[in-house]
Amino acid sequence: MRRFVYRVEGKGESCLERISLNQITTDRWSLEEAIDGCVRAGIPWIGLWRHKVQEAGLPGIARLIRDSGLKVSSLCRGGMFPAASRQAALRKRDDNRRAVEEAAELGAEVLVLVCGAAADRDIDSARAQVEEGIAELVPYAASHGVKLGIEPLHPMYAAERSVVVTLAQANELARRFPAEQVGVVIDAFHVWWEPELEARIRESAGRIVGFHVSDWLVPLPHMLMGRGMMGDGRIELRRMREAVEAAGYSGPIEVEIFNQAIWDQPGDEVLARIKQRYAEHV
């Protein structure tokens, strides 16, 4: 059993030193409230969403985060590359550049890429468009000091959110770019089912730029809003963390839970449960 050293002040070594609140987990909180909540709870990292940053106002939030002492594990999200027209592709390119600029200003460790779905039935072309889109974005991200993290999504989202659906595929895609520029984000909910996952994680070595945890509930209450609190579902989270660490990743571990029932709970209670379950299961 892993030790559970919980220190509110967060001084010194603690098993919570790598925990990050992905702010979608407390979706009812504004970004300011989430920052305050993390500071109160002694959670040292936060994962941000662009629409929340926008609501709060970027320059003020960047300052607020610096003042809070929190570190930004990631900004979610860029990507959504496949486009039905040249015009749409240009709009997406511009939006991705803005995402890079925001990540740089926020000091985010990584810009998470949710790669997008096909506009039609042609999944192969969509996958080619994803690669082209990343290739186009890499120099811009490099010039801003921002790393891109390809996050494979669960195949149940292949038609609507991401044609990149396995860690094997994300690894292969990432390898076409410099390791200091493009990595992979491993989200337990999305990849836990993947055959020979540990071998795939080993192949991610040197490219892992994020690790997200939640759980897969049985039955799954909802395709989008049905993620579970760690320990409530079927994922061997600790084993996955150990594999990710063995592959050399020692960065923040984001708790990212889309779940209406959790969203409806008071944020401070959610953060307390997250810390407990993280210590027990991650």
Q: Which residues bind a copy of itself (CB under 8 A)?
A: 118, 120-123, 127, 154-156, 158-160, 163, 165-166, 168-169, 192-195, 216, 218-220, 223, 233-236
CB of 185 to a copy of itself, least distance (A): 17
Q: How many residues does the chain have?
A: 282
Q: CB-wise, 76 or 164, nearer to a copy of itself? A: 164
Q: Supply 239's token pair.
A: 């084993």
Residues 6+ apart with CB under 8 A from 243: 197, 198, 201, 202
Least separation in angstroms between CB 255 and a copy of itself: 18
Residue 226 beta carbon to a copy of itself: minimum distance, rounded to whole angstroms:
10
Helix axes 123-143, 86-106, angle to 10 degrees: 40
At 183 the three-state DSSP class reads strand
- Listed in sequence order, the residues at least 6 apart from 12 whose beta carbon sits closer than 8 Å to its beta carbon are none
Nearer to a copy of itself, 43 or 235 (CB): 235
Distance of closest approach, residue 64 Cβ to a copy of itself, in angstroms: 37
Tokens 């990050």 found at: 20
Q: Which two tokens stand for residue 148?
A: 């891109």
Rg of the chain, C-alpha, whole Å: 18
Q: Is the CB of 194 or the CB of 254 nearer to a copy of itself?
A: 194
Find the shortest distance in angstroms from Cβ 155 to a copy of itself: 4
Nearest residue (CB) to a copy of itself, 4 versus 193:
193
| CB closer to a copy of itself, 52 vs 277 | 277
Torsion of the alpha carbons at 228, 223, 81 and 254, rounded to the nearest 10: 0
Nearest distance, CB of residue 207 and a copy of itself, angstroms: 17
Residue closer to a copy of itself by CB (options 230, 262) is: 230
Indicate the residue type of 109.
E
CB 216 within 8 A of CB 192: yes
